[in-house]
Amino acid sequence: MHMIKSINRFATGKITPHITFVLDIDPIEGLRRARSRNQKHMMEEDRMEREAMDFHQRVREGYLKWAAEHPDRIFVVQSDREKEEVHEQILGIIEKVRCPLLIVHGGRDNIVAMEEVEKLKKEAGGPVSTLIFEDGNHSVCNRNLEMSAAMADWVVDQLVALDKS
């Protein structure tokens, strides 16, 4: 866990988000859903989906531990429910947060539709910005460098705006 935190701090330039959601689901169910999605969209399993079950369990435990260490900014959302229920819980949390919100979305995301991003933008309580990577996948990990740079620019803009107020 220490190594992952170190890599994360390096990759983000020590930027820490105000709010993070951990969409928690039992790894068996999560992989079942991924396989179902892959079959539906005629996709192959990615590298992460091919990992052994104990890997997925360790990753889950790591995120849950991280959330327990930072309950003021990392929220665990049980995601073994209908999407609408998960969405409502996230909106309930967001309504309490009045800081600038940055939504990063991949245009090729076949899990979260763009309509859901637009709905979240409308329902968010504070100022909202979006970064849309048209060729980005669900986690936009195929555009990591561009995403990191764009997020850093957004953070600088927020800090400059704060300094002017």
Domain ranges within the chain, ordered by starting residue: 1-9+17-97, 99-165
Whether the CB-CB separation of 104 and 139 falls below 8 Å is answered with: no
- Top mean-pLDDT range of 5-19, 50-64, 101-115: 50-64
Q: How far apart are CA 129 and CA 104, in angstroms?
A: 9
Q: How confident is the model at residue 61 (pLDDT cuts 50, 70, 90)?
A: very high
- Top mean-pLDDT range of 4-8, 129-133, 141-145, 159-163: 129-133
Give the chain's mean pLDDT: 86
Q: What is the CATH number of domain 1-9+17-97?
A: 3.40.50.300
- Top mean-pLDDT range of 9-13, 58-62, 130-134, 155-159: 58-62
Q: Is pLDDT at 125 greater than 70 in this prediction?
A: no
Q: How far apart are CA 60 and CA 28, in angstroms?
A: 11
Q: How far apart are CA 82 and CA 48, in angstroms?
A: 24
Chain-centre distance for alpha carbon 113: 14
Lowest-confidence range among 95-104, 115-124, 147-156?
A: 95-104
Whether the CB-CB separation of 141 and 106 falls below 8 Å is answered with: no
